[in-house]
Structure 1
Amino acid sequence: MQKYNTIPNLIFDFGGVLLNINPQRAVDSFKKIGLTDTELVKKEYQHNGLFDLLEKGFLTPAQFRSELRKYISRTVTDQEIDEAWNSMLLDLPWERLNLLSHLRKNHRVFLLSNTNAIHWEAYTSKIKNVHGVQLSSFFEKDYYSHQMGLRKPDTKIYTTVLEMEGLKASETLFIDDVLVNVKAAQSVGMKIHHLNLEKGESILDLFKN
């Protein structure tokens, strides 16, 4: 396992890297509330469809729910849709937040996440309730796709963060569990680490004193 203690700037992905997630749970939950074509969820999430628009902030949560209802066979409430969508969000172990706190002593630490307003509200509230902290306090700046109007792996999202923070790409490490995202970051000159969750890799292993 490589160690990255000497790299001054660190940019972390969120879901999968910091927050544990299970997208299949959302698929199963949508099925339970009447979305019978669960392949639609996977297809829309993987391609530039409904979920892409939501994560770029081009759809409001209300518009997203309205569009999703077209595929659900029964009448469902906003809460039912949100609970199904949020069911993929699991826990954020305190050890990972503690690592971020230590890293900030010697590094500039940022977050860059593909996310959406519904998920953002759910996990920031949960983190505050469980750990008593604000997620944003662990980063110099946290960047979210739905606020930027950009989504990984669009290279513009990386260059935008680099430019806004005055970071040199060659002195910046980007960590993500999605291979296409790290390859896009690499293409603009950033150092990268693909966190291989299938092999049990954890960010706790990447930084050792």
Structure 2
Amino acid sequence: MREVTDAFFYFSHMLKNYIFDLGGVILDIRMQNAYEQFMALGLPATELEKGGSAYKWMEDYQLGLLNTQEFCQQIADKCSSTTKPLNIEQAWNSICLNIAERKLNALRRLRQREGVTVSLLSNTNELHWEYCCEKWFNANGNNQADFFGHIFLSQELHLQKPDPEIFRTAIRTLNANPSETIFIDDNAENIATASSCGLQTLHATPDIDWVESLNL
């Protein structure tokens, strides 16, 4: 695996493309929030387990195989009789906690570097993406173009990590040299797949802060 090391940063000026994951890297998340709220609305816990209907709908929604209305209505139908699609939307968005201003500032600075592209590549869905734009990327005078030149979302591509094709699609779209491209993610499997596609990688963990590691 071509994971970034301290020695690598001696040559960091060679990087021309930065591709970031969203949840767990830029956005602080807690998936359990939605599960807890779904169950409080009457959704059986077995529905959230692998093989359950709700689990499959979450996967399909992330891949763009269900639209927002379908996703919320189908889960609401599995909850108590008083549950509305709006309740599902609110529970689902409770996953999204915060984006630290220091991370937004780091992305801004990186975006302003000459000859560098900054992209987002995320397994995400319409509700979460619109929530992030409303709360952070397009809020308080911000514009998502301040942070990203290209945005690759699983819901639009009908592909999700760790499928290597989603990384190949990004590289083709950017017309990028993989060796001059770094991918930052909090998931080890995604990091391994990106590395197998020839990208440099940085595995963001509680002990590895990408803002510091990338000298931003």
TM-score (norm 2): 0.86
**CA spacing shift, 1:48–1:185, aligned 2, 3 Å:** farther
Alignment equivalent of 1:71, drawn from 55, 74, 78:
78
Larger deviation, residues 7-16 vs 72-81: 72-81
- Superposed CA deviations along residues 142-192 of structure 1, whole A, max 9, x for unmatched, are 111111111111111000010011001111110000111111111111111
Alignment equivalent of 2:132, drawn from 100, 115, 123:
123
Match of 2:121 in 1: 112
**CA spacing shift, 1:69–1:121, aligned 2, 3 Å:** same
* Structure 1 residue 74, shift from structure 2 partner: 2.9
Match of 1:189 in 2: 198
Alignment gaps of 5+ in structure 2: none
Q: Distance in 2 between matches of 1:136 and 1:20?
A: 21
CA RMSD of aligned residues (A): 2.2
Q: Distance in 1 between matches of 2:214 and 2:138?
A: 28
Alignment equivalent of 1:49, drawn from 38, 46, 56:
56
Match of 1:61 in 2: 68
Alignment gaps of 5+ in structure 1: none
**CA spacing shift, 1:129–1:161, aligned 2, 3 Å:** closer
Match of 2:175 in 1: 166
Following superposition, which runs of at least 4 residues in structure 1 exceed 6 angstroms of deviation? none
Alignment equivalent of 2:143, drawn from 97, 109, 134:
134
* Structure 1 residue 134, shift from structure 2 partner: 2.1
- State the SS of the aligned residue for 1:90: strand
Does structure 1 retain, via aligned residues, the 8 Å contact 2:133–2:139?
no
1:31 equivalenced with 2:31 (yes/no): no
1:19 equivalenced with 2:22 (yes/no): no
Alignment equivalent of 1:87, drawn from 88, 94, 100:
94
* Structure 1 residue 43, shift from structure 2 partner: 3.0
Q: Distance in 1 between matches of 2:101 and 2:135?
A: 13
Q: Distance in 2 between matches of 1:30 and 1:136?
A: 34
- State the SS of the aligned residue for 2:97: coil
1:97 equivalenced with 2:104 (yes/no): yes
- Superposed CA deviations along residues 91-118 of structure 1, whole A, max 9, x for unmatched, are 1111111111111214221110111011
* Structure 1 residue 203, shift from structure 2 partner: 1.7
Q: How many aligned positions are there?
A: 205
**CA spacing shift, 1:40–1:136, aligned 2, 3 Å:** farther
